Structure 1
Amino acid sequence: MTRRLLVSVVLSAALAIGVAHAANDPRTALLVDAKALAAHLDDPELVLLHVGDADDYARSHIPGARLVTLDDISVSEHSATGLMLQMPGDEALRERLQELGISDDSHIVVYYAKDWISPSTRIVFTLQYAGLGQRTQLLDGGMGAWVRAGGALSSTAPPARAGTLSRLRTQNLIVDAAQVRAQRNSPGVAIVDARAAVYYDGIETGGAHGLAHRTGHIQGARSIPFTEIADERLQLRSQAELRTLFTRAGVKPGDTVVGYCHIGQQATAMLFAARLLGHPVKLYDDAFEDWSRGTDNPVETATASGRP
């Protein structure tokens, strides 16, 4: 067996087996641990993406990793009427992913430096949206787990290498305000607010570009703050812990989880946890900054929603 075939078969095992058994163990498909990554760091088909501060990346990163930012995979309009963190058009997104070295046969591992979990899950969600979800994993525990496992670090950036991607087969993963309004009370659909509880409860009010959002949350939405999906070591909580978290919020097994947050970043961390539990997911990408602008979009606070 050739080296190329061997490394492809071995590294693909976690993805292929995980996908085949996704109904029973989606965690295997979506997460990779530091030990498994270390064993296959030289795979020529591996694209390793570092999510974090550029200066920190320049000082140290996992060998072979390329720095990726949210600007690399999204479009933002920094104005009072614009929206942040929007998906690019299909062709623009394909070109951006190619610039990161991603090809049709790539195995993509995304990891976070420090506590950059939600930016990393936004990258993962974008890859899922682009039709590359079955070839993408998140390093559980991020760079911290890599260091604790004795993994080497580098200060040398890999040479730029463009990938080659076929036309994207984008997935139906994004909803707009009209769809959220229509689905708010639909059986089998759970609208989930992933912001910090103080925003959901109405204790604090978010905002951007000098404009305050409305106070509270989408009427009828559940609350699962994005910060609750990982433990103190920034590793994803166990399946049992995540199931308790979602059950406590009123999300039923099999529900499609429609997530939102301030601008479409934090919600992807909660949605990643939902995927670990086998839930179909959707993102209200225009987020609460868009919902706040619609006078016919109902908003309530914790008292009105009956939150303890």
Structure 2
Amino acid sequence: MSEADRSAHLIGPAELQSWLADRPETVVLDVRHVMPADHADRDAYLAGHLPGAQFVDVDADLAGASTGRNGKRPLPGAAEFEKTVRQWGIGADTPVVVYGAPRSPAPARAWWLLTWAGVAGVRLLDGGVAAWPGELQTGPVDAPVEGDFVIRPGGLPVVEVGDVPSFAERGLLLDARPAAKFSHPTDPGAGHIPGARNVPVAEFFDAAGFLLPDDQLREHFAALGIPAGAEPAAYCGTGVAAALEVFVLSVLGVRARLYVGSASEWSADPSRVLVR
């Protein structure tokens, strides 16, 4: 994977500052989320965000209605999401940058969903909002002119619940959560899909929240013994951290599948167990 390929996924803070000066039509999306409370962090956005950035709520904007059987954050309907994307001012050729707190997986959910929907050229801000070298804007921003984006679902592959066991059997099912959530004898919320392999996505970032160099990322995944050309599947609790795992693999040129329903869908059926 070359530096040019990496730059197709990531944009550095100084580069973004110059980019926005030259390309004011760029749509910037702030996807901040509070963990472990697990809710959108609009207060942090209002207190300070990149100039012109629009706030994105993981649940209201990047997920559909949960039935209790399809996971906590299923895909939104195509028509519904097309309308949302247009409200952000995105058209067929609009450059898009998403960001959040350092090491947060929430922006990757936006990257994944926009790319899945057919938006070209979506990039993540490396280091998140903490790395921004310029001044931050406070308060809300004016709504942009509505875009003309036409959704084309299927830009990234997914895994349906019925196909999950086959990935696990082949050693290609990756759990992106911390080790304590994957398996902990005293945590009632811990547990993983049988046959899954724990690959915590937080380990792919340095202390400042920047993505590790490609060679270190390759070493990490090489240790898993995944065959060249294989398409692993990633999951987590609700399909957010796993989107970041898919993103990191995509940086390395590996086409990974997202199990959108993740553990929240898997465990909704009593016939499907989570093991510790």
Q: Same fold (TM over 0.5)?
A: yes
| 1:229 is aligned to 2:215 | no
CA contact (8 A) 2:127 2:210 kept: yes
Q: What aligned pairs does 1:41-60 form with structure 2 within 5 A after superposition?
A: 41-42=20-21, 43-52=23-32, 53-60=41-48
| Aligned equivalent of 2:226, options 251, 255, 263 | 251
CA distance, structure 2, for counterparts of residue 298 and residue 157 of structure 1: 44
CA contact (8 A) 1:26 1:275 kept: no
| Aligned equivalent of 2:55, options 44, 55, 67 | 67
CA contact (8 A) 2:103 2:127 kept: no
CA contact (8 A) 2:70 2:261 kept: no
Please report how far the alpha carbon of residue 105 of structure 1 lies from its aligned counterpart in structure 2 after TM superposition: 1.5
- C-alpha spacing 1:216/1:83, structure 2 compared with 1 (3 Å): closer
| Aligned equivalent of 1:159, options 137, 142, 151 | 142
Instruction: Determine helix, strand or coil for the equivalent of 2:96.
Output: strand
Larger relative contact order (C-alpha < 8 A, sep ≥ 6)? Answer: 2
Alignment correspondent of 1:4: none
Instruction: Determine helix, strand or coil for the equivalent of 1:216.
Output: coil
Q: Deviations over 1:10-43 (max 9, x none)?
A: xxxxxxxxxxxx6785312100011111112142
- C-alpha spacing 1:285/1:205, structure 2 compared with 1 (3 Å): farther
Q: For structure 2, which runs of at least 5 residues remain unmatched after alignment? A: 33-40
Q: What residue identity is the alignment partner of 1:74?
A: A
| Aligned equivalent of 2:19, options 3, 15, 40 | 40
CA RMSD after TM alignment:
2.3
CA distance, structure 2, for counterparts of residue 81 and residue 90 of structure 1: 20
CA distance, structure 1, for counterparts of residue 90 and residue 70 of structure 2: 29
| 1:199 is aligned to 2:181 | yes
Alignment correspondent of 2:123: 137
Structure with the largest fraction of helix:
1
Alignment correspondent of 2:258: 283
| 1:108 is aligned to 2:119 | no
Percent identity between the two aligned chains: 28
Q: What residue identity is the alignment partner of 1:198?
A: A
- C-alpha spacing 1:81/1:168, structure 2 compared with 1 (3 Å): closer
Structure with larger Rg? 1
Alignment correspondent of 2:247: 272
Q: Normalising by structure 1, report the TM-score.
A: 0.78
Q: What residue identity is the alignment partner of 1:48?
A: V
Structure with the largest fraction of strand:
1
CA distance, structure 2, for counterparts of residue 264 and residue 191 of structure 1: 13
Aligned length: 265
